[in-house]
Amino acid sequence: MTGFAKLLGDGLSMGLGDAISEHAEHSMIRAELAREAWEFKNYPEGEIAEMVAIYESKGFSKAEAQRAMAIMTKKPAYTNAFLDHMMLQELHHTVPGPGKNPVKDGAIAFGSFLFFGSLVRAKPRPPLSPPWAHSLTPPCTPL
């Protein structure tokens, strides 16, 4: 019974920890995305220059990097794609999609912990013997 209680407690801890940490991570990424969107709206030249520098550091010539950024920022419809790409290249964050739910991920972690934890059986321990138990056994004498 205590084994099941421990498994349940550990699973709950893992599931809640996963959900809380993912929620915090998603909030931070979305806040950074909002900041980058504001910067791109108010100072697009600066954001494009940052991306050109990143592309140059990856081996592109300045002309090639500028051409790539000109294509990515050509139409307002490309703005979200550009911002997602900028988040990945500049900040190394993948923007979570609208279907990404930290509570669902926490529930999956909880269920997985319970399922796989219940498959492993603890090896039973031998009973502990008191230190004086060996003195109670009769000595062996040869016949």
Mean pLDDT, the chain cut into blocks of 10 residues (143 residues total): 80 91 94 96 96 96 97 95 95 90 91 83 62 58 59
Does 84 map to a domain? Answer: yes
> Rounded distance, CA 5 to CA 97, Å?
36
The reported pLDDT for the residue numbered 6 is 83
Alpha helices (runs of H) in the chain, residue ranges in sequence order: 2-42, 44-57, 62-72, 79-86, 102-119
The reported pLDDT for the residue numbered 125 is 61
Does 128 map to a domain? Answer: no
Amino acid identity of 23? H
Does 126 map to a domain? Answer: no
The reported pLDDT for the residue numbered 126 is 63
Amino acid identity of 55? Y
Q: Are 95 and 87 in contact (CB under 8 A)?
A: yes
pTM of the model: 0.70
Does 136 map to a domain? Answer: no
Per the structure, the count of domains in the chain is 1
